[in-house]
Structure 1
């Protein structure tokens, strides 16, 4: 993951919000906490998004970043984020450039039933770029190994989990991240949610932190969606974070066979 002044969802994702062609919002963005549900087989989701942070070091984030997820086979999703990162310290000029490239593969190995949640593994790699001098990229690759769970109860969905970040580099520390989210479908086109997230120190002089976020997903249609969230730390160093994205979801539609009425793809 990028340093505290440059983080964006894992998408998390966001990370990452998974959504089907039908426009049903799953999880991940606009929240930092992710979920085990991959994009449907042969379906795509594309997000143009911005993630903003403000703390004692000033403003930082992405302006914007592009996230692409693809269901390459059933239960497996490929993931990439390419960010135009920036930072702006108080009294200093802003710096812009390509930040760490995020690559990942989400694998759901346990499907949800009436009694058990679905479970998935979503390893991520943050690949450094050439913008280390401006603080827009890390010096070494970082790896995140999380496990995510999700369970639905009617209009309610809850998901979360966590994992371990390998965070090499001078002054850095490996650290744990955990988060949990609860969301409810308010109307046919709008879902609201809240999350809590916790992380241990990611540097030798760092601190543990806990943050709360609230956000929503607005389905403009089956294809177009708006995602947003905002929150603040409630424990540890003071930091605001916000997220806004325009998402497009698409893929092959089911067709009917004229002869027997059976659906086919």
Structure 2
């Protein structure tokens, strides 16, 4: 089962990189929370295909800032899956541990840039046998770049993903965000995953919204649909959550 709840980095201090990638979007951005700050996301995330629906209840994404340029991330989720003609099953999905390093800042370099290596592994092998998590251990080393153009923010990501089971892949995406009003940003995204020769790709179109009730409580929502999926029917995806910054 492909997973769409991923780690986020949104700004919460003047020296922190601002961005719109990460939850509720698939593509990550270069932002980091800031020294000693937490940025945690709790959400209901779902993926629906004909004859199968999977729901993260909740998707848990914990991010902690070490200095102004480093972010530590831990992510996991209990997963419920309902397949046609079968009963509801549940268990722990894949777990991700990651470290983001933002090594360029827009204020001094004209754009933000980071790398976000991560390892994705399974705590419960029974989840793999039951189709709640992907088999094997996966390693990702994507790079993110972002730049602001007035009220617009553009963020792109590209990098490889290797696995102990199955083929290696490329991950890449682009997100455009627009500040509709001071507390509200609208976002649109194209995200792709392909083989190393860029064939048999899974292309997803996603739209999202981020609304700040306060600087500490932020609503994050998205809905999207796969446009191409060579190995299975295309999926409808969604992410409905809150971000807590402190």
Mapped partners of 1:9, 1:88: distance in 2: 18
Q: State whether residues 19 and 155 of structure 2, in contact with CA within 8 Å, keep that contact through their aligned partners in structure 1.
A: no
SS of the aligned residue for 1:132 comes to: helix
Q: Tell me by how many angstroms 1:115 deviates.
A: 6.7
Match of 2:90 among 79, 96, 112: 96
TM-score, normalised by the number of residues in structure 2: 0.89
Task: Report the CA distance shift for 1:92/1:101 in structure 2 as closer, same or farther (over 3 A).
Answer: same
Unaligned runs of 5+ in 2: none
Q: Tell me by how many angstroms 1:105 deviates.
A: 0.4
Find out whether 1:217 has 2:213 as its counterpart.
no
Between stretches 137-146 and 113-122, larger displacement belongs to 113-122
Structure-2 residue corresponding to 1:255: none
Find out whether 1:133 has 2:132 as its counterpart.
no
Structure-1 residue corresponding to 2:170: 176
Q: State whether residues 8 and 61 of structure 1, in contact with CA within 8 Å, keep that contact through their aligned partners in structure 2.
A: no
Q: State whether residues 63 and 84 of structure 1, in contact with CA within 8 Å, keep that contact through their aligned partners in structure 2.
A: yes
TM-score, normalised by the number of residues in structure 1: 0.83
Between stretches 239-248 and 51-60, larger displacement belongs to 51-60
Mapped partners of 1:217, 1:160: distance in 2: 18
SS of the aligned residue for 2:10 comes to: coil
Q: Tell me by how many angstroms 1:232 deviates.
A: 0.8
What is the 5 A alignment of 1:237-248?
237-248=233-244
Structure-2 residue corresponding to 1:76: 70
How many matched pairs? 237
Q: Tell me by how many angstroms 1:57 deviates.
A: 5.0
Structure-2 residue corresponding to 1:47: 41
Structure-2 residue corresponding to 1:257: none
Q: State whether residues 8 and 62 of structure 1, in contact with CA within 8 Å, keep that contact through their aligned partners in structure 2.
A: no
Between stretches 124-133 and 27-36, larger displacement belongs to 124-133
Mapped partners of 2:19, 2:160: distance in 1: 27
Match of 1:16 among 8, 20, 26: 8
Unaligned runs of 5+ in 1: 251-265
- The one-character-per-residue Cα deviations of 1:10-29 (angstroms, maximum 9, x if unpaired) are 2xxxx214231589764311
Q: State whether residues 8 and 28 of structure 2, in contact with CA within 8 Å, keep that contact through their aligned partners in structure 1.
A: yes
Q: State whether residues 189 and 218 of structure 1, in contact with CA within 8 Å, keep that contact through their aligned partners in structure 2.
A: yes
Point out 4+ residue stretches in structure 1 off by more than 4 angstroms. 21-26
Q: State whether residues 19 and 146 of structure 2, in contact with CA within 8 Å, keep that contact through their aligned partners in structure 1.
A: no
Mapped partners of 2:39, 2:31: distance in 1: 13
